A and B are shown apart, each in its own frame.
Chain A
Amino acid sequence: MNSSGKSAVVVVLITALGGFTGAWIAWNSEEPTSHYISIKARQYAFEPSVIRVNRGDTLHIKLISLDVVHGFFLEGYDLDAEIFAHQKSFNIRHPSKGKEWSEVNEFTLITNRRGKFRYRCSHTCGSMHPFMQGELIVQPNTPFHASVGGTLGLFVGMLWTFAKRRKTRLFDNGEMSAPPDQSRRAGNRQAAPH
């Protein structure tokens, strides 16, 4: 492998190490708890717009629409709901299991996946409908912390490459004596009998 190939491998490794470190630092193991959340939908927002919980928590969720018919599609949890204006009950289904709706007043969800999951309106509700969404953030948010660690790792890795390149340039320009192993090799070559 040539020098730039080796540098690339080292940069990738340092980035990955940064990613693992970021995920590890953010790791927590808090006891699961229960949350009772009432989510209100209106054109073009959910209230609360951000829900932060820990992995393993149990969420008891009620959905209410304040104006028109809205949907509630929760990414990563195979859940879709249809919320009618000013009604206590709403329809719910698991999209992967069929199109049939069940009418409920509340549903329960155990947050078994880490990360950020958006809940989106799945029922056309007006002009800004495609952008109506909220966020369920399940801590530890491993993808986020790993990516932050990876970003810092990439910076460190790149600085290391630049420092290495700088050393090579200085050596090429004769501004720096050869590294010990190279001097030795050069010396050996000179000393070799002809």
Chain B
Amino acid sequence: MSEFVTETPEIEPKTVIRKRPRPKKEPTPVKGFRLDLFDWIPGLKKFVRLRSFQFLVILPNLFVFHILFIAGIFGTPVGNKNIMIVFIWILWWFILIAVMVPFASRIWCAICPMPFFGDWLQRRALIKVRSGKTKGIKNKMFGRNLRWPKRLSNIWLQNITFLTMCTFSAHLVTRPIVTVGVLGSMVLLATFLALIYRMRTFCNYICPVSGFLSLYAMTATVELRSKDTDVCLKCKTKGCRTGSEDGWACPWFVYMGKLDRNNYCSLCMECVKSCPNDNIALNLRPFASDTQIRGYDEAWKGFIMLALAMAYSIILLGPSGTIKDWANVAETHAWGGFAIYTLILWSVALVIVPGIFYGCILLTRRLAKATHIPMKEVFLGYSYLLVPLGLLAWIAFSVPLLFVNGSYIISVVSDPLGWGWDIFGTADFPWTPLWPEYLVFPQIALLLIGLFYALNHSYQIGERLFGSSEAALKGSIPMGVFSIGITLAFLRFFTG
């Protein structure tokens, strides 16, 4: 008993529920080979360290973007005769999903022109760096630099914006003016948010393209990482995150010492310039090296992407005229059909596929006798399977887009607005599908590659979660069945 007498009234003892302390997030140990491309490609490091690097890579893109906008507004409304539709939804889309994402991570984000104006207003500089202090950052930034609300600091908004945008995809990918409207709104919103919120809030939390890039960049064969995390931990300035007189603070607020996934690194290369210890490497690595999904928002992005790949395979590449009529509501005015289509699309993406997946997870936990492991951990752990499955399905879906309709590119470069010009003498180049009857074979191969990675990771994830090879083997059966089901569905769409 205490001998001290206090006048403080006695406080009723309350049951204090303490949250389990969160384990400190340590970077995941690196697996597989790594090859620093800065060492292997002469001049690459020097190039990315140029202060003008990002401006130089965005500039041509910005120029093309303007031309596409002009074509979208003033050119023909016939999609396959307008350079905006042909370049964006055939050429850009294929390069993005089949080349950039798997082989160059989020390189698109480094060259994307959409946040250009916002960056400019925030920095009031195109090339040089401004030293100074702005709310914990060692760069002088303009605008209000508010923090984005914590409740919205995830990719749920991106999930919803992407699903909404894709609900109208039949209009988006066929009508230039709709594409202008959507992309124009994105530029305006990115610029507006840059004036209010700090850094690249739009890219981080709203951009619908960014959401799926973040997910699928996990598979990319390149990564930007610190060479030695101990050097980062001892670093006093943390220039990568806070900026320095040599480089801007990371627009994504990434601290390189803890970066162990590609999800939120846009390869802008500012950290290569701002790191005082020359501790940044651009590594070549095996495909699908980042394997951790860290939130339901990311898992649901995987479900949404998978469901959309299925939906597009039916609507755009399928034979049913009725479904096309439902999706093409602006022309057919089939509002009832459009409501059914929207309901099915959203239910499949947000409830049905996740529900089936959840059922498989329940079975996995039971078979692996791992009911003591929290459901969330198992669910998120295995949801990584959606990444290789989804990405390869999207690439398989995109193959016919390029090979069947790619010849439109040749004609629109000569007549970008569809006004009857013939700049390079190719305006009358006929629609010539390339080997359309053989495209099923690369599609099958791509789907099987996706399945291989999903199956292989299902075992590895099981080992990581359950710590036992026996449980991993048993757990890989329901997850394998799920992956096979998805693969068979796509095989049915493409070849059956």
Q: Give residues in A with beta carbon < 8 Å to B.
A: 15, 42-47, 49-50, 73, 75-76, 113, 115-118, 120, 122, 124, 126-135, 141, 143-144, 147-148, 150-152, 154-155, 158-159, 162-163, 165-166, 169-170
Contacts and interface: CB of A to CB of B under 8 A. Distances in A.
Given A130-B80, A170-B469, A155 B455 contact: yes
A44 B492 CA distance: 22
A73 B407 CA distance: 15
Given A115-B437, A143-B440, 9 more contacts: A45-B321, A45-B324, A115-B440, A124-B80, A127-B171, A150-B448, A151-B451, A154-B452, A169-B469
Interface in B453-493: 455-456, 459, 469-470, 472-473, 476-477, 480, 484, 487-488, 491-492
Secondary structure type dominating chain B contacts: helix
Nearest to B491: A147
Interface string B336-351: 0000000000000000
Contact of A15 (B315, B404, B440, B448): B448
Given A42-B321, A120-B404, A120-B433, A143 B441 contact: yes
Contacts of B79: 127, 129-130
Contact of A143 (B171, B444, B473): B444
B470 to A, nearest CB: 6
Given A117-B437, A143-B444, A151-B484, A131 B470 contact: no
Interface string B407-442: 010000000000000000000000101001100110
Given A143-B441, A166-B472, A152 B484 contact: yes
27 contacts: A44-B328, A46-B321, A49-B319, A49-B321, A75-B433, A115-B495, A117-B437, A118-B436, A127-B79, A127-B175, A128-B331, A130-B79, A130-B174, A130-B405, A130-B408, A131-B324, A132-B324, A150-B444, A150-B448, A151-B484, A151-B491, A158-B455, A159-B473, A159-B476, A162-B473, A163-B473, A165-B459
Contact of A162 (B405, B459, B491): B459
B495 A143 contact: yes
Contacts of A141: 495-496
A45 B319 contact: yes
A158 B480 contact: yes
B170 A128 contact: yes
Contacts of A148: 488, 491
A30 B495 CA distance: 21
Contacts of B452: 154, 158
B81 interface: yes
A116 B443 CA distance: 13
Contacts of B408: 130
Looking at A46, A49, A50, A158, which has the most chain B CB atoms within 10 Å of its CB? A158
Contacts, number: 135
Contacts of A134: 319
A157 to B, nearest CB: 9
Looking at B171, B320, B324, B447, which has the most chain A CB atoms within 10 Å of its CB? B324
A2 to B, nearest CB: 16
Given A155-B480, A158-B456, A122 B472 contact: no
Contact of A73 (B317, B433, B456, B496): B433
Contacts of A169: 469
Interface of B: 77-81, 170-171, 174-175, 315-317, 319-322, 324-325, 328, 331, 404-405, 408, 431, 433, 436-437, 440-441, 444, 447-448, 451-452, 455-456, 459, 469-470, 472-473, 476-477, 480, 484, 487-488, 491-492, 495-496
Nearest to A167: B469
Contacts of A127: 77-79, 171, 174-175, 328, 331
B437 A76 contact: yes
Nearest to A76: B437
B319 A128 contact: no
B337 to A, nearest CB: 13
A160 to B, nearest CB: 11
Given A76-B437, A116-B495, A49 B451 contact: no
Nearest to B331: A127
Contacts of B328: 44, 127-128
Contact of A159 (B170, B440, B480): B480
A136 to B, nearest CB: 10
A150 B449 CA distance: 11
B469 A166 contact: yes
Nearest to A42: B321
Contacts of A144: 491-492, 495-496
A155 B170 CA distance: 35
Contacts of A43: 331
Given A135-B319, A151-B448, A155-B480, A128 B440 contact: no
Contacts of A147: 444, 447-448, 491, 495
A3 to B, nearest CB: 15
Nearest to A172: B469
Contact of A124 (B81, B456, B487): B81
B455 A154 contact: yes
A110 to B, nearest CB: 16
